[in-house]
């Protein structure tokens, strides 16, 4: 599980457990101290919007250095001088999460810095107020909630729905629904959470002012006609809800409509096909996947991923054998069309493109492999999934990979040991439970 120093940065960025092990083995190395400092200052998660906070992972990294790194000393000045959370939202969010955890652990410096910043943000009515409110609830409980409600009433005339503010979610989790509901009843009238009846009434009024055609097929073409008109913000996708209204005859007519040569109309039509399998469109989709317009070709490829057919599998294997446009998407076509032995081509593609694949392409490629393994859990594919685990840059996707391996009793002890130190709390939990279960079976 030891990582060469040249690979540490990549492992640390990805949030792999092996990076923490390496820190313990080289605790005094100055370059590692700098790498952890940068990890504190910059949210390095592959997708910070979806991945859980790395608070525990980063604090453990600080503790494994010799001497330990004082995260509060580094982050308090950053939070103190932060003026706007918009430009560096995920960095600031990480600073606040770490200082909140330290404050909850008894670090008075961290708690005071967050309370002071909250007060200054509330006085100035800056976006930082919204970001710091959940932290105040975590530190001060109901007292924090009362303070936030008073400040919100002071500078906010109305609220979209006070019960859905982040600080209220946090309060419900920490304090319980009854305590929070009791406190929310004291909100001024303008800020009281609207009931379900009010929201339903508003939705009904909106529908009445914007009636939709009863014929789903006509509705599709009405939306396409409107979308292709010049506009400031172009429409790229048709509403997902349309898929549930379209009948088999509608899909047949839409398949015929794919014969248009207009790329803009094709992209819009394919935004429906890429979310719903239509076997009758196979021939046209196989043609469109080679379209010169990348948007058309990519959506046609995604549409093929919903179709189970030998010709789709043949095209997927072609993409795996011959590097070309969308080769990294080949695995998406095998989710319904995999056969034992195909994992050898997948492995060759992964090894051959490992250096060339960008993080996003590698994430998508390996996410699809997990989907295939869930449907076709043969030994070769599960072995491939095990070896690919540390190559997945997305913590949420590593959780999915590990869940598939554990479900089929294919997660080796060394992988589980590393996963217990992963940046994702969910990955850690899965690994810990699996190791505990294995211990009980001995």
Report the Cα 62 to chain-centroid distance in Å.
Answer: 25
What pLDDT digit, counting tens, does each position of 100-138 carry? Answer: 999 999 999 999 999 999 998 888 767 788 789 889 989
- With residue 44 as reference, give the H or E element that holds it: none
Q: pLDDT at position 196, please?
A: 45
Residue 365's nearest CA partner among 338, 337, 334, 339 is 334
Give the count of alpha carbons within 13 A of 368, CB side only: 25
What pLDDT digit, counting tens, does each position of 177-235 carry? Answer: 787 777 777 666 655 545 444 545 555 555 555 566 789 999 999 999 888 888 767 88
Q: pLDDT at position 169, please?
A: 66
The mean pLDDT value of the chain amounts to: 87
In angstroms, the CA 90 to CA 43 distance is 6
What pLDDT digit, counting tens, does each position of 359-400 carry? Answer: 778 888 899 999 999 999 999 999 999 999 999 999 999 999
Residue 356 burial (CB < 10 Å; 0-12/13-18/19+)?
exposed
Q: pLDDT at position 437, please?
A: 87
Output the pTM of the full model: 0.83
CB 202 within 8 A of CB 180: no
Per-residue pLDDT at 332 exceeds 50: yes
The DSSP symbol for 87 reads: T
**Which residue is associated with the tokens 């949210």?**
43
Q: Which two tokens stand for residue 90?
A: 């995920």
Residue 418's nearest CA partner among 409, 431, 405 is 431
Report DSSP letters for 359-419, one per residue. Answer: HHHHHHHHHHHHHHHHHS--HHHHHHHHHHGGG---HHHHHHHHHHHHHTT---HHHHHHH
In angstroms, the CA 309 to CA 337 distance is 7
In angstroms, the CA 167 to CA 54 distance is 20
- 246: pLDDT confidence band, cut at 50, 70 and 90? very high
Per-residue pLDDT at 17 exceeds 90: yes
Q: pLDDT at position 78, please?
A: 95
In angstroms, the CA 52 to CA 428 distance is 12
| Preceding omega of 163 cis (within 30 degrees of 0) | no
Per-residue pLDDT at 14 exceeds 60: yes
Q: At what angle do helices 17-25 and 55-64 cross, to 10 degrees?
A: 10
In angstroms, the CA 241 to CA 294 distance is 25
């Amino acid at each position: 599980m030891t990582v060469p120093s040249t690979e540490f940065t990549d492992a640390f960025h990805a949030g792999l457990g092996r990076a923490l092990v390496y820190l313990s083995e080289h605790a005094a190395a100055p370059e590692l101290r700098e790498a952890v400092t940068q990890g504190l200052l910059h949210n390095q998660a592959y997708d910070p919007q979806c991945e859980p906070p790395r608070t525990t992972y980063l604090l453990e990294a600080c503790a494994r250095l010799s001497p330990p790194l004082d995260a509060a000393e580094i982050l308090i000045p950053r939070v103190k001088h932060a003026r706007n959370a918009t430009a560096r939202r995920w960095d600031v969010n990480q600073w606040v999460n770490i200082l909140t955890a330290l404050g909850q652990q008894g670090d008075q410096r961290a708690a005071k810095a967050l309370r002071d910043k909250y007060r200054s943000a509330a006085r100035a009515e800056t976006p930082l107020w919204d970001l710091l409110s959940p932290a105040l609830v975590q530190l001060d409980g109901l007292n924090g909630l009362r303070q936030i409600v008073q400040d919100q009433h002071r500078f906010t005339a109305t609220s979209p729905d006070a019960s859905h503010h982040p600080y209220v979610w946090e309060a419900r989790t920490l304090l319980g629904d009854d305590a929070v509901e009791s406190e929310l009843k004291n909100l001024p009238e303008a800020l009281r959470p609207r009931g379900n009846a009010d929201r339903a009434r508003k939705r009904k009024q909106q529908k009445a002012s914007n009636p939709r055609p009863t014929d789903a097929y006509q509705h599709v073409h009405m939306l396409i006609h409107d979308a292709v008109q010049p506009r400031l913000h172009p429409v790229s996708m048709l509403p997902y809800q349309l898929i549930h209204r379209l009948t088999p005859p509608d899909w047949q007519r839409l398949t015929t409509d794919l014969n248009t040569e207009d790329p803009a109309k094709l992209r819009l039509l394919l935004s429906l096909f890429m979310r719903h399998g239509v076997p009758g469109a196979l021939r046209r989709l196989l043609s469109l996947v080679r379209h010169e317009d990348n948007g058309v070709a990519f959506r046609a490829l995604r549409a093929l991923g919903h179709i189970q057919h030998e010709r789709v599998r043949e095209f997927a294997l072609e993409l795996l054998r011959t590097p070309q446009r969308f080769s990294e998407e080949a695995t998406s076509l095998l989710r319904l069309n995999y056969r034992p032995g195909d994992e050898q081509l997948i492995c060759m593609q992964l090894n051959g493109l490992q250096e060339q694949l960008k993080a996003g392409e590698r994430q998508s490629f390996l996410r699809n492999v997990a989907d295939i393994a869930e449907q076709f859990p043969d030994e070769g594919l599960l072995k491939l999934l095990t070896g690919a685990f540390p190559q997945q840059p997305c913590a949420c996707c590593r959780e999915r990979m590990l869940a598939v391996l554990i479900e089929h009793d294919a997660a080796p002890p060394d992988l589980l040991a590393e996963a217990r130190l992963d940046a994702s709390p969910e990955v850690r939990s899965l690994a810990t439970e699996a190791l505990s279960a294995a211990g009980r079976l001995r």
